[in-house]
Structure 1
C-alpha cells in the first residue's frame, strides 16, 4: 500500500453537500412563506462560500460566520432575522441531508479492509456525525477530526498537528488527504507536507498556486492510487 492512512473531507467529497444545502435553504424559505428562486439560492451559496474562505484565511471566527450569515443574507430581502435562531433551524435541516457522492459507500467499504480511514472536516461536529451515521458511512471511519472540536480550521497547520498527534504512529509519507477544496483540503495538505488527491468531478480549472499530488474525477479512481 502506498498510503495506509487516508484523510477524507466530507462535504462534496463523500456526501453531496450541494443537495443538502439546497434542501435546508428551501425549508427556511418555506417557513417565511417566500419562494426560493434559483437566483436567491445562488446568492446565498456564493455569500456562504465567501464567508468560509474568510474563515480559512483567519479573517473571521467560526462564531461570527455561523451567527451572522443568515442575518446578512436575509437583510438583502428587507428582513431583520435572528441570526442565531436561523442558524439553529438551518443546522437541523442540514443534518437531515446525507445523499452520498456516487460510489462513496462502496469506496469506503473496499478501502476499510486494508486502510485506516479518517475524517477531516471544517463542518459542525454534531451535523457531520449524524450525516455520516445516517448515510451508512460512519462504520468505516476510525475517527473524525472536526475543526469545531480541534479548535483550528483547515488549512491551518495546527489542524493537521492535532490529527498527526491523535493517530498512533502517524507517518506523513504514508498519509493522503482526499478532498474537493483547493483552498482547504489541498492547501492544508501541501502546507503540512502531505500528499493529496483533488476530487474534481466537474473538471474545474485550478487557478490557484496550490497543486495536488493527484487529481480524480470519480471516487473509485482513488483505489488505483492508494
Structure 2
C-alpha cells in the first residue's frame, strides 16, 4: 500500500487562523491593544518559535497585564481548541483512503497539543496513525521522524509521498528520505535553492488529489 505522509499545522488544518482567533480573544480579555495581534503572530512564526520564547516576549511586552497562566493557556490550547478540518480536505483524505493509500500524519510539536488537534478534528478516523516530534525525539526534517512514521503502520518508505507547507521541515525532509513531495504553497512563491518539491499545489485538498489521481 502506498504511503502518504502528511503535515498537520497549516497543511491538514489551518493552525495560524485558529491561533489568530485565540490571540484576538486573549488581547480583548486582558484589555491589550488589539492591533498587537500582528506582532504576536510574527513572534509565534507559525508555531515554529519555541513556546518559552513566545511566553517571554509576551511577558516583556505586557508585564502583569498578561498573567502567566493566561499566557500558558493561550500557547497550550489557543490553536488546539479552535482548529477545524475543512470539507475539501476531509473529502480528499476519504478519497485517498478509498484508493488504498496509507495515511500517516508527521508533525513537529508537543504530543498533547497535536493529538488534541488530531482527535478534535476527526483526523484520527481519517488516517492510519501519526507521529509527533516530542514523542519520537526527532523533529522534521530529520529522517528519523519519517522512518518512525512508516514504522507505525509497517510500511516502507519506497514510493512514499510527503505533503506539507514548510519548505524546510516538509520538502527538505522528503528529500532526505528520497521521497517525492507536494508543497502546499497557499499562493507563496518557491524561493529555496537547495531543493525543490516534486510538485506544487495551491491548497492541501489539491495536493492530496494530485497524488491520488496521478501518483507517478
| TM-score (ref. length: structure 1) | 0.81
* Alpha-carbon distance between aligned partners in 1 of 2:134 and 2:154, rounded to the nearest angstrom: 22
Tell me which residue corresponds to 1:22.
Answer: 20
Tell me which residue corresponds to 2:189.
Answer: 205
SS in 2 for 1:174: coil
Tell me which residue corresponds to 1:139.
Answer: 125
Q: Which of 64, 68, 84 lines up with 1:99 in the alignment?
A: 84
CA distance 1:212–1:68, change in 2 (3 Å)? same
* Alpha-carbon distance between aligned partners in 2 of 1:121 and 1:205, rounded to the nearest angstrom: 23
* Alpha-carbon distance between aligned partners in 2 of 1:69 and 1:217, rounded to the nearest angstrom: 29
Q: Which of 136, 142, 155 lines up with 1:156 in the alignment?
A: 142
Q: Which of 38, 45, 67 lines up with 1:42 in the alignment?
A: 38
| TM-score (ref. length: structure 2) | 0.85
How big is the alpha-carbon RMSD for the aligned residues of Structure 1 and Structure 2? Answer: 2.4
- Work out the number of aligned pairs and report it: 209
CA distance 1:173–1:124, change in 2 (3 Å)? same
Q: Which runs of 5+ in 1 are unaligned?
A: 54-64
Aligned-residue offset at 1:91: 1.7
- Confirm whether residue 224 of structure 1 aligns to residue 210 of structure 2: no
CA distance 1:18–1:89, change in 2 (3 Å)? closer
